[in-house]
Amino acid sequence: MRKSINGLMSLVQENFPVDPFSNALFVFCNRSKNRLKILEWDGDGFWLHFKRLERGRFRWPAEGESGTMSLDAKELACLIDGAKLEKKLSRKEVFERQIS
């Protein structure tokens, strides 16, 4: 987690088939899985977002699994919230109902 914008941009250029200047977010996680960095190009500069969990860990692929994942907006939101993707995405929201 020592890399800043230039270091992360170089990682993207060298390791991913996606241009770092594209309309994509690049998410990086530390070994302890309690910190995330997100690299984002907004058209005229890069944003570097950082989140550290005080408790718990982010759900992340284990060693040996693919080093890259494609997430939709809902999955990314769940990941950032520190939730387990499988549990959060497999449940449908329940609204309170009255029984007559």
CA pair distance 96, 4, nearest whole angstrom: 45
Answer with the residue of higher pLDDT: 94 or 60.
Answer: 60
The pLDDT > 70 percentage for the chain reads: 74
pLDDT on residue 42: 92
Retrieve residue 18's tokens.
């996606």
Residue-range definition of the domain harbouring residue 62: 5-90
Average confidence (pLDDT) over 48-56: 87
Residue 18: pLDDT above 60? yes
Neighbouring CB atoms inside 10 A of 39's CB total 22
pLDDT on residue 81: 75
Residue 8: pLDDT above 90? yes
Q: Within a domain: residue 9?
A: yes
Q: Within a domain: residue 100?
A: no
Q: Within a domain: residue 96?
A: no
